[in-house]
Every structure is written in C-alpha cells, then in structure tokens.
C-alpha cells in the first residue's frame, strides 16, 4: 500500500540532551572525548578587561566552533555560522542549546585579532603534547615536507612590480656565476631589470609553482613535520612561498625535539632538502638523513670527477692539477685552477667555460657529508628504501588530507599571521582526529579484553560447576 506523511507543524518538545541526537561515530562526538580546553580561559584572561564591559563569548565555545569548522570542512566563518544554526552536532560540540543565539561570524574574527596567533600555536602544541602523553608519537623518525597554499587573492589583483633594489643586489652579489660548477654557463646580468608579480590585496603572497602544472600562482608555503609512528603532525609553520624549504629543515628538527621531548634519530625528506649544509647539520646532530641527493648539473667534465682533499683544503682535477681555495661565498668556497695548467690540458675544450681560461668550482660547506649521503643513497639499503617509501604516503598523505578534508587547499584569510592560524588549527584538528581514533581503538581493545576475560571466567565457572557436580555425584 502506498504510504503518505502529513507535512504540518511537527512537535518541538522532547526530553533529553541534544547530544543524544548526535551519533557516537560522528567526528565531533569522538573528538569531544579527547579534547581538553580547560586551560584556555586562564591563558586569554589578560586579553579582556576585568569587571567592566559586556561579557564576551566563552573562549572554549569560540575555539570549539572554529575547530568544528576545520573538522567538518566548513572553514569560512559565515558558512560555518549558517551551518551551525541548523547543525545539531556543531551546536552540541560548541555547547549551544537549541534556543540559544549563536555568536555573529564577525565575533570569531575579532577573537582571533584579540588573542593573537601565538595562542593558536599553543592550541596546536597542546594537541601534540596530548598525542605524546597518549604514546602516539614515537619521536624516532621525522618526515619533513613542504606544500604550497594558494593565497586568497584574485588574478586581477596581481601587478608587476619593478624591484629596484634587485639591481643593486645583483651588482653587489658575491655569489659565483652559475657555470662555476662545470656547466660553463654565464652568471646573472647586473644590467637586467628584474620584475616580479605581487598581489595588491595580500602583500605576503609570493608567486610560486608546485612544478606539476608549471603555472606561477600567488601562494604561501607550509612546512610540515610528521612523526612516523601514527602520522601525528608534530611541526607546522607557514612562510612566504619564496622561502626555500631546505633552509627550514634544521629549525624544524630543533622545534620537534623541543616540543616532544624526544631525540630524533632519522629524518626523511625529498630532493629539495638535499643540500650539503643540511647533510652536515644532520650528521652533527648524530642523526641519519634519508634524503635523495639532487642530481649534479650535466656537464662534460662534472664535479664528481674532481677529488676534494679536506685535510689539505685542496681540490684535484681529473688531470691531477690542484685547484687553489679562493673567496668564501654564502654556500661554500671557490676553488680555481691555474690558467697555465689548463692551457696545455687535453680536456680544456670540455672542462673550461667558453670564455674562461681556468676552471672555477664551489665546494659547498659540508661537502664531505654530502658525499657520504650520496654513497649511502647508492647502496639502496632496504631500511632506507622502506623509510622513504613511508615518507611519501605519510607526509604527503597529511598534505592531501589537510587540503581535501580540512579546507587547506586555499587560504581563507589574508596575511601571514592569518594563514598561520589556519594551518595551526588544521594541524590541531588532524591531531585530534588521530587522538580520537586511538581512544576508539583503545576502548575497543579494552572491551574485547573485558569480554574475553568474562568468557574465560564463565568457562572456568562452568568447569568448576562440572567438577563440583562430579564430586557431588561421587559422594
């Protein structure tokens, strides 16, 4: 029989808590069990006047609303507050009853401005500390990577900017010409005017590309550190997109060791981090760096054919002549051959740059560590391969998760501080998910243990019953 349902006014009176309507498997219900923000009110008390003015929004309720947005992928404040009007789970998670008025979306902006970005960093750090206490952080192996976040600006906001200072920098630049390592290419032309694109609406955004689509976009760069044990995000920081990720590695390692209180022994990263300085710094800390060394520039007589004698500070060319040390640059030290040696050399045509009479090479600081890392990489040890394989799905998986499930594919506000708040809250949301998942599995394991023990106890009781009854029968 065909059913029908009247669509008139439905009753509004019910008994119980609105949390009863939220399923136990809902992400907010799970996260609520592991989220502790009792410390927050004390931290932000100094941002409010004591005893005067209208009572502000409860700090915990505000942070819960923000976290609910990141957990449910509703990252824009206006959309979040519209959704919270009708979403029982968000209302319950933030502590608002059905008849209670929700704060205006602009209140969340003012709260962020009032508290400052450092407080949101503390929320992220607290989530890491909770994961350490729950034994979800091994603290042994760290996977490091960086990703670009598209700035919240339009293409029409971009303008070409003439960087006058660049000309001066080019003139004063003491760095070597590009062909100094054997490529034979000439250096930068000081007379050339450099032009860059900048956004007029977000001054901190920089043009960058992820190399896949080759299109320069206004971006920020997030630097991420992921622990190998349960994929907990133990470090996150955001910088302008023109800051190279390789320059951040050592500070990331230091931050992670300080935050987790554990000594790292292995760090994995991609080719972007494979500089001699990084390998040397990792070695100096007693760690192993599993980083595929970058390929050397193709050249007819490449740098690998030159032998470096660290003890005597000399470089020997394929023909056995010494290249003498010269000036120090930012990356390393210049070594230059004697023109009279090269003049009679049979390799001169392939070895020397087109207009040069001698060969100049830069030996980077930490060159020995780079060579050792190269040798280790060529051995292709199974443990190293396994660690680098897990690097790919762990840290790149975290980036994918943050972008597809938590709205990090595009910045939601402008300015470096606001993007930092977004990345810290996203990372905190991901860590809380890990914590909630662990609590769920722990609960399940305890339940299984409990039922198993009960089953054994029931079986034993049954066994005693049988024995007792047997004895009784005998008696």
Place of tokens 């499930």: 405
Neighbours of 131 (CB within 10 A): 24
Closest CA to 266 of 245, 248, 247, 285: 285
The answer to whether 299 contacts ligand SF4 (rule: CB under 6 A) is no
The answer to whether 321 contacts ligand SF4 (rule: CB under 6 A) is yes
Closest approach of ligand SF4 to the CB of residue 301, in Å:
6
The answer to whether 438 contacts ligand SF4 (rule: CB under 6 A) is no
Number of residues lying near ligand SF4 (CB under 6 A) = 13
The answer to whether 341 contacts ligand SF4 (rule: CB under 6 A) is yes
The answer to whether 360 contacts ligand SF4 (rule: CB under 6 A) is no
Q: How far is CA 423 from CA 34, 70, 235, in A?
A: 20, 10, 11
Encode burial over 22-47: b for 16+ CB neighbours within 10 A, e otherwise: beeebbbbbbbebbebeebeeebeee
Is 120 strand, coil or helix? helix
Which residues within the stretch 151-210 sit at the binding site for ligand SF4 (CB under 6 A)?
A: none
Q: Which stretch binds ligand SF4 (CB under 6 A): 48-56, 219-227, 347-355, 401-409?
A: 347-355
The answer to whether 413 contacts ligand SF4 (rule: CB under 6 A) is no
Residue 431 near residue 131 (C-beta atoms within 8 A): yes
The answer to whether 315 contacts ligand SF4 (rule: CB under 6 A) is no
The answer to whether 253 contacts ligand SF4 (rule: CB under 6 A) is no
CB-neighbour burial class of residue 323 (10 A; exposed 0-12, middle 13-18, buried 19+): buried
Closest CA to 269 of 244, 290, 241: 290
The answer to whether 348 contacts ligand SF4 (rule: CB under 6 A) is yes
Place of tokens 């060159």: 367
Given 127, 224, 268, 337, the residue binding ligand SF4 (CB under 6 A): 337
Closest approach of ligand SF4 to the CB of residue 392, in Å:
40
Longest CA span, the chain: 115
Neighbours of 197 (CB within 10 A): 15
Q: Which stretch binds ligand SF4 (CB under 6 A): 86-94, 172-180, 292-300, 312-320?
A: 312-320
The answer to whether 351 contacts ligand SF4 (rule: CB under 6 A) is yes
Given 57, 61, 216, 347, the residue binding ligand SF4 (CB under 6 A): 347
Sequence-distant (6+) residues with CB within 8 A of 63 are 37, 40, 123
The answer to whether 318 contacts ligand SF4 (rule: CB under 6 A) is yes
Closest approach of ligand SF4 to the CB of residue 325, in Å:
15
Q: Residue 148 or residue 317: which is nearer to ligand SF4 going by CB?
A: 317
The answer to whether 262 contacts ligand SF4 (rule: CB under 6 A) is no
Q: Residue 97 or residue 318: which is nearer to ligand SF4 going by CB?
A: 318
The answer to whether 342 contacts ligand SF4 (rule: CB under 6 A) is yes
Q: Residue 363 or residue 428: which is nearer to ligand SF4 going by CB?
A: 363
Sequence-distant (6+) residues with CB within 8 A of 45 are none
Given 136, 276, 277, 317, the residue binding ligand SF4 (CB under 6 A): 317
The answer to whether 361 contacts ligand SF4 (rule: CB under 6 A) is no
Closest approach of ligand SF4 to the CB of residue 368, in Å:
21
Residue 128 near residue 234 (C-beta atoms within 8 A): yes
Residue 301 near residue 318 (C-beta atoms within 8 A): yes
The answer to whether 67 contacts ligand SF4 (rule: CB under 6 A) is no
Sequence-distant (6+) residues with CB within 8 A of 459 are none
CA distance 252 to 243: 14
Binding site for ligand SF4 (CB under 6 A): 317-319, 321, 337, 341-342, 345, 347-348, 351-352, 359
């Amino acid at each position: 029989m065909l059913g029908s349902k009247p669509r008139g006014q439905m009753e509004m009176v019910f008994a119980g808590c609105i949390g009863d309507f939220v399923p136990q498997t809902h992400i907010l219900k799970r996260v609520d069990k592991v989220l502790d923000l009792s410390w927050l009110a004390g931290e932000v008390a100094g941002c409010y006047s004591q005893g005067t003015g209208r009572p502000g929004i409860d700090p915990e309720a505000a942070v819960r609303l923000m976290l609910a947005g990141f957990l449910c992928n509703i990252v824009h404040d206006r959309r979040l507050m519209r959704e919270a009007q009708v979403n029982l789970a968000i209302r319950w998670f933030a502590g608002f009853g059905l008849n209670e008025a929700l704060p205006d979306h602009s209140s969340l902006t003012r709260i962020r401005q009032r508290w400052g970005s450092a407080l949101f960093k503390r929320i992220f750090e607290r989530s890491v500390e909770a994961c350490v206490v729950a034994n979800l952080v091994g603290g042994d192996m760290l996977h490091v990577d960086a990703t670009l976040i598209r700035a919240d600006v339009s293409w029409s906001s971009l303008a070409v900017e003439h960087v006058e200072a660049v000309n001066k920098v080019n003139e004063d630049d003491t760095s070597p010409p590009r062909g100094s390592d054997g490529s034979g290419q000439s250096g930068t032309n000081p007379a050339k005017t450099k032009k860059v694109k900048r956004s007029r609406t977000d001054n901190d955004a920089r043009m960058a590309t992820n190399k896949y689509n080759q299109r320069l976009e206004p971006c920020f760069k997030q630097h991420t550190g992921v622990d190998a044990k349960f994929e907990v995000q133990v470090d996150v920081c955001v910088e302008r997109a023109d800051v190279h990720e390789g320059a951040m590695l050592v500070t990331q390692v230091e931050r992670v060791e300080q935050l987790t209180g554990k000594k790292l022994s292995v760090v994995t990263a991609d080719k972007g981090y494979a500089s001699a300085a990084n390998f040397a710094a990792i070695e100096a800390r007693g760690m192993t760096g599993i980083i595929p060394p970058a390929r050397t520039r193709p050249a007819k007589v490449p740098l690998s054919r030159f032998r470096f004698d660290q003890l005597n500070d000399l470089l020997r060319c394929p023909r056995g002549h010494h290249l003498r040390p010269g000036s120090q640059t930012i990356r390393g030290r210049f070594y230059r051959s004697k023109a009279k040696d090269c003049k009679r050399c049979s390799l001169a045509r392939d070895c020397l740059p087109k207009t040069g009479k001698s060969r100049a090479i830069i030996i980077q600081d930490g060159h020995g560590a780079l060579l050792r890392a190269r040798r280790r990489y060529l051995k292709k040890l199974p443990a190293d391969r396994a660690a680098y394989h897990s690097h790919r799905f762990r840290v790149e998986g975290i980036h994918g998760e943050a972008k597809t499930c938590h709205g990090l594919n595009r910045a939601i506000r402008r300015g470096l501080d606001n993007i930092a708040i977004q990345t810290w809250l996203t990372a905190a949301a991901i860590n809380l998910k890990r914590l909630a998942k662990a609590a769920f599995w722990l609960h399940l394991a305890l339940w299984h243990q409990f039922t198993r023990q009960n089953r054994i106890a029931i079986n034993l009781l049954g066994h005693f019953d049988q024995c007792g009854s047997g004895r009784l029968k005998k008696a």
